[in-house]
């Protein structure tokens, strides 16, 4: 970098936007850090956003600027913001600047650090998707399989189960793949962050996980840069250690929202629905860095809040255009008690192709989708006239679709404390076999309740046998 240890002073403060003037002869580059030397115990860190003139930069504050006045000294090193990476970061919780926030011991002096701004891998260096990432969640593995080294997003409104799904996927990664997990909590409530950290520590998952938080009570600059800090940690494990990484982000919409706040503070004219005019490029810059390279993969699973359940929202469409797998969460299914509340018809995956998943998986997934789609088409008629008014073939489809719908629900390990039901992780082969048996009519005479909230079809069969024995 050209600029090194430049001295300046604050000339303007507008919330999270701070202007700093430097002496003639050089300005710190864009995306580098400035330290404000004020009278607080913690130094205030800014990030250069733009150059206003030959002596002044406009910067975004990563902590609250309450109490900051004009004339305060500032120092720029010309280096980007960095975060701790490598083995020393495992099991720890950091803020966007890499400060530990878990009350643990200080990091060793020789802990490596990596800039949060890095270019994406070159196209020729990227490696192709290695295969399917099995989650043990039936409805996802069957109808919207995730790619090892791919990008998946879970879209849903408030309270439909996005965070629970993310926590269950952390369990799946650690138990099945023994890999590294990096969790980015973007705009999380403080309570949610504390609950997740406690849950992970008690379940033994924390030792293989790095958590980075930019919480809801922090300035927009911190929330805006949290995903980039998490990506820097994931990229280090991928590039330096050649380890597979599961990158989880909850919630990517809050990243977009923080960018919109920053944009309005900078005085830009808003674009569609009030979003920042740079929405597409900001989302693209984040998503392009999520790639497999150097023989190791970064598998990204991102929770995305859907404002007012409007799936045509510009932020939602901008994010979905980068995804290999899209998992839609349905408020109606959640209200009916089907968990996970994944909409089987709204969800999709580029992997549902006989060349990738195999002929048997593809055929069962298509049959399941057809049955559930026909059931949805007939629901209005059933509500008005009753199922008895349908033709024999439609009655059979409805019977099997209802049983399939119940079979695709399952209890999670992370909800055991609330439901009292032990979690179930189901192998993909068992999911395909169970769904095929239901579609072939094996469960036509079973009670629907026997298929609700179970793991494999064998468990449902045992449940049906127990209920018949109890009835007799």
Output the pLDDT for position 45. Answer: 96
The model's pTM is 0.91
Active site residues: 162, 188-189
CB atoms within 10 A of CB 281: 11
Output the pLDDT for position 190. Answer: 82
Going from the C-alpha of 300 to that of each of 161, 184, 212, 279, 286, the distances in angstroms are 18, 11, 15, 20, 11
What DSSP letter does each residue of 2-31 carry, written as one string? ---SEEEEEEEEETTEEEEEE-SS--PPTT
Burial letters for 421-436: b for 16+ Cβ neighbours within 10 Å, e otherwise?
eebbbbebebbbbbbb
d(CA 347, CA 325): 8
Backbone angles phi, psi at 83, to 5 degrees: -130, 150
d(CA 218, CA 302): 21
Tokens of 265: 């503070």
Output the pLDDT for position 201. Answer: 81
Output the pLDDT for position 1. Answer: 40
Output the pLDDT for position 262. Answer: 95
Output the pLDDT for position 287. Answer: 95
pLDDT, averaged per 10 consecutive residues of the chain (472 residues), comes to: 74 95 91 94 92 95 93 94 95 93 91 95 78 91 92 91 84 73 89 82 82 93 96 94 90 95 93 94 95 86 92 95 94 93 94 93 97 95 90 95 96 83 92 97 94 95 92 74
Tokens of 23: 């002496």
Backbone angles phi, psi at 409, to 5 degrees: -85, 155
């Amino acid at each position: 970098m050209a600029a090194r240890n430049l001295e300046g002073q604050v000339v303007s403060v507008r919330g999270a936007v701070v202007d700093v003037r430097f002496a003639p002869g050089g300005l710190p580059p864009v995306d580098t850090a400035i330290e404000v030397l004020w009278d607080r115990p913690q130094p205030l860190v800014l990030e250069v956003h733009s150059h206003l003139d030959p002596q002044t930069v406009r910067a975004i504050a990563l902590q609250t600027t309450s109490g900051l006045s004009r004339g305060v000294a500032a120092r720029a090193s010309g280096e980007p913001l960095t975060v701790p990476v490598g083995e020393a970061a495992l099991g720890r919780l950091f803020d966007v600047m890499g400060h530990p926030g878990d009350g643990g011991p200080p990091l060793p002096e020789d802990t490596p650090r990596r800039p949060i701004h890095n270019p994406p891998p070159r196209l020729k260096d990227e490696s192709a998707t290695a295969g399917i990432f099995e989650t043990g969640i039936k409805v996802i593995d069957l109808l919207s399989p995730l790619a090892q080294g791919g990008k998946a997003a879970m879209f849903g409104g408030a309270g439909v189960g996005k965070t629970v799904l993310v926590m269950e996927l952390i369990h799946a990664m650690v138990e099945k793949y023994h890999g590294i997990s990096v969790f980015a909590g973007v705009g999380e409530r403080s309570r949610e962050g504390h609950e997740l950290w406690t849950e992970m520590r008690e379940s033994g998952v924390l030792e293989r996980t790095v958590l980075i938080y930019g919480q809801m009570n922090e300035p927009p600059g911190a929330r805006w840069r949290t995903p980039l800090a998490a990506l820097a940690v994931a990229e280090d494990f991928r590039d330096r250690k050649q380890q597979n990484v599961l990158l989880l982000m909850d919630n990517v919409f809050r990243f977009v929202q923080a960018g919109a706040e920053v944009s309005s503070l900078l005085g830009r004219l808003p674009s569609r629905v009030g979003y920042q005019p740079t929405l597409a490029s900001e989302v693209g810059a984040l998503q392009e860095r999520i790639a497999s390279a150097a023989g190791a993969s970064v598998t990204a699973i991102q929770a995305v809040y859907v404002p007012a359940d409007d799936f045509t929202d510009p932020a939602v469409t901008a994010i979905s255009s980068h995804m290999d797998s899209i998992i839609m969460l349905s408020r109606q299914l959640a209200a009916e008690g089907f968990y996970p509340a994944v909409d089987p018809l709204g969800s999709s995956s580029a992997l549902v192709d006989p060349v990738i998943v195999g002929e048997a998986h593809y055929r069962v997934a298509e049959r399941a989708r057809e049955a559930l789609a026909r059931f949805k088409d007939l629901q209005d008629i059933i509500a008005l006239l009753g199922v008895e008014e349908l033709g024999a073939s439609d009655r059979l489809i409805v019977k099997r679709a209802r049983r399939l719908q119940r079979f695709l629900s399952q209890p999670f390990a992370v909800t055991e404390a609330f439901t009292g039901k032990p979690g179930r992780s189901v192998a993909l082969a068992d999911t395909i076999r169970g769904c095929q048996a239901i579609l072939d009519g094996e469960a036509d005479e079973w009670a629907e309740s026997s298929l609700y909230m179970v793991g494999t079809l064998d468990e449902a069969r045992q449940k049906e046998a127990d209920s018949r024995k109890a009835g007799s």
